[in-house]
Amino acid sequence: MGLIAGFFNGLFGSGGGSILVPSLEKFLKMEEHKAHSTTIAVILPLSIVSIFIYFKGIDVNLKQVIAVSLGGILGGFIGAKYLKKIPANWLHKIFGVFMLIGAWRLIL
């Protein structure tokens, strides 16, 4: 799971969560809330490794990184607070809807 999630995270700049959440739920029988929070914790080291590689070979706009990161930190804080309040069955459905929207946008 980790190898595949890391590969997609490095290749696409994201994607680890879309691999890990369902994998943790299905193969490790992890509860939805725990799968989401575990995935976030796992993606941090994956992203740190990718950052160093991207900075060496791909042009990165630091102003945009800082601006988006600040918004992401605030959004992550708010999302983590709400995660505890969303029932597991709704969390699963919301995640599925976002996966479908992402897939649809990629196809078009």
Rounded average pLDDT per 10-residue block, the chain, 108 residues? 82 76 92 89 82 76 89 91 89 88 87
pLDDT for 67 equals 94
The whole domain housing 82 covers 2-107
Per DSSP, the three-state class of 29 is coil
pLDDT for 99 equals 85
What letter represents residue 74's amino acid? L
Pair 67, 73: CB distance under 8 Å: no
What letter represents residue 4's amino acid? I
Determine whether 37 is exposed, middle or buried from the number of CB atoms within 10 Å of its CB (0-12, 13-18, 19+): middle
pLDDT for 13 equals 67
The count of structural domains within the chain is 1
What's the whole-model pTM score?
Answer: 0.69
